[in-house]
Structure 1
Amino acid sequence: MDYLTATKNKKYLMYISQNYSYAILRPLQQEILAQGGEVKWFLEGNEVTSSFLKNNESHLLTIEEVIRWSPDVSFVPGNVIPPFIPGIKVGLFHGFNSGKRNRKGFEDHFNIRGCFDLYCTQGPNTTSRFEQLSKQYKHFAVKETGWPTLDPLFNPDTKSIYTQPDDKRKTLLICSTFSRNLSLAPKLYQTIKTFSEQGKWRILMQFHPKMPNELVTKYQALENENLTFIETDNVLPLLKAADVMLCDTSSILLMFILQRKPVVTFCNQDPGKHLLDVTEPEKVEAAIELALSHPAQLMDDIESFCQQLHPYQDGLSSQRVLAACNELVLTNPKLKPKPLNLIRNLKMRKKLNYWRW
């Protein structure tokens, strides 16, 4: 059976709590609508902005409206979703596994919270682990699909608004996570300030939305003809515009490297041969110059890494996700009941002010 065509007349909910989730789910929304399905959005909490919705995007305002609408499938690029929403719940991830560990020392990417019926994984290096966890817990299925977010990245017709054809300099993209222990922002300010004054490269900067305001303000003050600080809910045009990236342990570096472009990292938690990692500020500039020269061994290591991380370059991951979800809806495999998660579920009910049972 062609499970993609089964999309017609089904209902799909985009359940989000962060502004970056818009860009994660919009390629999937586009495919759903093209296949005759219906899409609505629900925005949870105060960290997601309703003004980012487009005029043609439908928005459910309350959890009561969501339940009355009764979606067949809910897509979540986050960690949790209330169990009392009808339909199957699908984990799509808000990024790649960048090696970050939680307070207990475990990789947070593989933390099973008992909220999802299906995980749509991005590539072999995460699929195998989730398949092991599926056999262990037995209450969710796993399908390797690729990440819908990246479909536009692999579309040659997608243009970047951040390119400047008249500027012949190489473009350096600097990104940073918000965690104080992992972020390059507090440690490389003077280095980046020097880069902005040198004018050797055209520099684009973008920080995680949770970056402390004082650091954002400090870097915004560096803006000049060589450096542009950008706040956006869609990083893909930034990725396409740059020749090389300077980053830390943020998972955005993995999105960038899938273009087969080099990444220089500062004190990365999980450095590998595919990265040029440095731990001293005075070595950053030389590492960037080396990256821009595209050394053969580095580029081979990047290719091998990408084949494990996300081998799909066809821009059709949204189709694979949609087919996998429809298959689960129609075949209704016998999964074990998800755990009750009483404390977490009570917290979600309180947050959403929903007390019907």
Structure 2
Amino acid sequence: MSKKRYLFYISQNYSYAILRPLQKIILARGDEVRWFLMGDQVADKFLKSTEQRLLTIEETIRWQPHAVFVPGNVVPSFIPGVKVAVFHGFDSGKVDSLGRSDHFNIRDCFDLYCTQGPESTKPFQRLAEKHGTFKVVETGWPTLDPLFKPDDSVITKRDDRPVILFCSTFSPRFSCAEVVYDKVKQLSQDSQWRWLVQFHPKMNRDIVEKYKKLDNDNLSFVETDDVLPLLKEADVMLCDTSSVLIMFLLQGKPVVTFNNKTNWPHLLNVNDVKGLEIAIEQALGRPPELLDEIQRYCTRIHPNRDGCSSERVLAATDDLIDNGLVGLKRKPLNIFRNLKMRKILGYWKL
């Protein structure tokens, strides 16, 4: 039996960690993986020596992938293979100025959406019925497979102090990084807790540099393409609206949010920096009613916590490869978006 060829089409550094659990399963069964890095916001320095990259779009098309996995919003239609959306995060409740959630925006690029849990599956199923151009399978998120397999990476804490992980989104509308800076600085000078700080890769560089200067025995600024070890190490997260908070919650650990507009009962939200310390202390106490709310939420958002989401994604993808796009309508031509991608990639062949 000939090997199947799977392309990983990425444009952000965090995509490496999203797709590597999937790569592990693909290679273990003897099939092939290639990476295509699109744009200047993804760095090849994060590629491992054992990982193979396709350098040009021409080379990628000649390789003739059976499927293309995308932890992003768009992928060119002129790359061969079924197009599979595996998402770059969860729907954290952020909406644009018109009240629309970008998480459920259909851009006519994908044949299959591999959803994370009922909370995302149901809206995508309604959209699939409306558009008729793609399938939806609830698989769980491959990114989280190592999170549910503790033997894969054992975190050794530096000391016995509670660890607070501070993460923030990059959008000025939603980010709390600037607002809470002085409070985090103050709290990090107190040795009762140890702080880890990790921001979205698109975070304003001036803010990044401010936090880097806080580095001391109690606070470490971490730049990484894989946030999972930080999630495992921390006891409580401080965040705003970044979807990474959902990944943290799935461990059954509390999250303190600042100025989060969702009013969700599974979060400890504060709107005044004066309340941050008290909220963190409350979270560290792990109140049973809060943990119950977290568990109820996690069941809706990502019920599969067996560490086998990668296998389910591959099964759904292979079904599409083997049986074709039976029952699906042809996608709209999407002329403007495809012309834009051709221009970005410098590819004009038919």
TM-score (norm 2): 0.98
Q: Cα deviation per residue 1:283-303 (whole Å; 9 max; x = unaligned)?
A: 011011111111111010000
Whole-angstrom CA distance in 1 between matches of 2:96 and 2:230: 28
The CA deviation at 1:328 is 1.0
Aligned to 2:42: 48
Q: Cα deviation per residue 1:15-42 (whole Å; 9 max; x = unaligned)?
A: 0000000000000000011112110000
Aligned to 1:256: 248
Asked if residue 190 in structure 1 is aligned to residue 164 in structure 2, the reply is no
1:213 to 205, 223, 242: 205
Aligned to 1:304: 296
Whole-angstrom CA distance in 2 between matches of 1:61 and 1:230: 29
Whole-angstrom CA distance in 1 between matches of 2:91 and 2:178: 23
Whole-angstrom CA distance in 1 between matches of 2:88 and 2:336: 24
Whole-angstrom CA distance in 1 between matches of 2:261 and 2:314: 34
Corresponding letter in the other structure for 1:47: Q
Asked if residue 156 in structure 1 is aligned to residue 150 in structure 2, the reply is yes
2:339 to 329, 334, 346: 346
Whole-angstrom CA distance in 1 between matches of 2:280 and 2:70: 36
Classify the secondary structure of the residue corresponding to 1:206. Answer: strand
The CA deviation at 1:338 is 1.1
Q: Please provide the CA RMSD for this pair.
A: 1.1
- Structure 2: state its 5+ residue gaps: none
Whole-angstrom CA distance in 1 between matches of 2:293 and 2:45: 42
Classify the secondary structure of the residue corresponding to 1:231. Answer: coil
The CA deviation at 1:160 is 4.9
Aligned to 1:62: 56
Aligned to 1:3: none
TM-score (norm 1): 0.96
Classify the secondary structure of the residue corresponding to 1:253. Answer: helix
1:146 to 136, 140, 148: 140
Runs of 4+ in 1 over 4 A off after TM superposition: none
Q: After the TM superposition, which residues 193-342 of structure 1 pair with which residues of structure 2 at under 5 Å, given as runs?
A: 193-332=185-324, 333-342=326-335
Q: How many residue pairs end up in the alignment? A: 349
Corresponding letter in the other structure for 1:225: D
Corresponding letter in the other structure for 1:68: R
The CA deviation at 1:218 is 0.4
Whole-angstrom CA distance in 2 between matches of 1:269 and 1:39: 41
1:25 to 15, 19, 22: 19
Q: Percent identity?
A: 58
Classify the secondary structure of the residue corresponding to 1:157. Answer: helix
